[in-house]
Amino acid sequence: MMATELLMVAPMMPHVMEALDRDFQVHRLWEAEDCQALLSEVGGRVKGIATNGHAGASAELMSALPNLEVISCFGVGYDGIDVEHAKTQGVIVTNTPDVLTEDVADIAFVLMLGVCRRIPQCDRYVREGKWLNGPYPLTDRLGGHTAGILGLGRIGKAIARRAEVCGMSVAYHGRREQTDQPYTFYADLAEMAAAVDYLVVACPGGAETDNLVNRRVLEALGEKGTLINIARGSVVEESALVELLLDGKLRGAGLDVFADEPKVPEALFALDNVVLLPHVGSASKETRKAMGDLVVDNLVAHFAGKPVLTPVT
């Protein structure tokens, strides 16, 4: 029997490529000299896409694949995939939730702690031999402060648990109140920003949340407040964030994600009150392995006639 044909949009981890090559005939779009020519040649036979949240899958790409049945996304975020279009075409979309929740929440927590206790600066202090001349200046403590979480989903809740353990109060803003949660709900994001010390962005990216954390929200967070973002750069009005940080109108920022990755506004490099990470929320070996396995398992399940494991609903 002929192997089912897949389109891989961007390179994936070796174990994912090997597993997919075993079960499917995989066309590698990023290797094609002429993408249009590859799509014209194999598009009619391709039944599945393997992609990630950044490379995504546009409506245009889907139109070139008339027999497409399923899109398997490496990542919990699927903002690069035109899910609405997929739905109209009856194409199933899957992502990789749950397996990365704890790692991403760890990074949010580390960013709060890193900015507050000045961990990168302390490390430099030791390396530069400055400790020999005296102790490092005192910092603020994290406990006793308030974290306002934007998006109390799986990752948001895992961040809330970490914040509670270290003695922080927790508030949240989202589309609706979750009455089973013990945290303070704010129906208005700017109001929450005004009330908290750390505004932690943990909501999905995409059109619905584009620039949700705009200048008004950042100004409400103000000089007492620190912005933490482990979600998507698109959720924050980055130019306003940089401007307010440069003007000393925000206390600090801990950022794992940016609007135009891997480009980071260079103005941030000179600031001592920001911690910058290269989008490593889910980047532990164990978690990335589990995410890769889920990409494969979703495709295998679908083409074995079974329900996919983690559909985007």
Beta pairing partners, 253: 227, 274
**Shortest distance, position 26 Cβ to ligand 8YV, whole Å:** 18
Binding status of residue 234 toward ligand 8YV by CB under 6 A: no
Q: How many of the chain's residues bind ligand 8YV (CB under 6 A)?
A: 11
Residue 79 beta carbon to ligand 8YV: minimum distance, rounded to whole angstroms: 8
d(CA 82, CA 196): 34
Minimum CB distance to ligand 8YV smaller for 146 or for 284: 284
We find the least distance from the C-beta atom of residue 25 to ligand 8YV, in angstroms, to be 23
Nearer to ligand 8YV, 181 or 284 (CB): 284
How far apart are alpha carbons 196 and 138 in whole angstroms?
22
Instruction: Report in angstroms how near the CB of residue 105 gets to ligand 8YV at its nearest.
Output: 12
Instruction: Give the interface segment with ligand 8YV, choosing from 38-46, 47-55, 108-116, 163-171 (CB under 6 A).
Output: 47-55
Query: Does the footprint of ligand 8YV cover residue 61 (CB under 6 A)?
Result: no
- Establish whether 60 is a catalytic residue: no
Distance of alpha carbon 261 from alpha carbon 266, whole angstroms: 12
User: Taking CB under 6 A as the rule, does residue 75 contact ligand 8YV?
Assistant: yes
Measured CA to CA, the distance from residue 195 to residue 224 in angstroms comes to 10
**Nearest to ligand 8YV of 246, 280 (CB atom):** 280
Q: How far is the CB of 89 from ligand 8YV (least distance, A)?
A: 23
* Cβ atoms of 98 and 311 closer than 8 Å: no
Bond prior to 14 in cis (omega within 30° of 0)? no
Closest by CA to 95, choosing from 68, 70, 76, is 76
DSSP letters for 59-94: HHHHHT-TT--EEEEESS--TTB-HHHHHHTT-EEE
- Interface positions, 132-171, toward ligand 8YV (CB under 6 A): none
Distance CA(136)–CA(201), nearest Å, equals 30
Beta bridge partners of 183: none
* H-assigned helices in 166-277: 189-195, 215-221, 238-246
Is residue 76 near ligand 8YV by the rule CB under 6 A? yes
The SS3 of residue 138 is coil
Sheet containing 146-150: order of strands: 184-185, 169-173, 146-150, 198-201, 226-229, 252-255, 274-276
In the chain, the amino acid numbered 24 is F
**Piece of 21-29, 46-54, 123-131, 221-229 that binds ligand 8YV (CB under 6 A):** 46-54
Pick the catalytic residue: 145, 162, 232, 288?
232
In the chain, the amino acid numbered 190 is A
Give the x/- contact pattern for ligand 8YV in 254-283, rule: CB under 6 A. -------------------------x-xx-
Q: Is 251 a catalytic residue?
A: no
Find the binder of ligand 8YV among 24, 29, 52, 189 (CB under 6 A). 52
Question: Is 173 considered catalytic here?
Answer: no
Residue nearest to ligand 8YV (CB): 75
Positions in the binding site for ligand 8YV (CB under 6 A)? 52-54, 74-77, 100, 279, 281-282
Q: Which residues carry out catalysis? A: 232, 261, 279
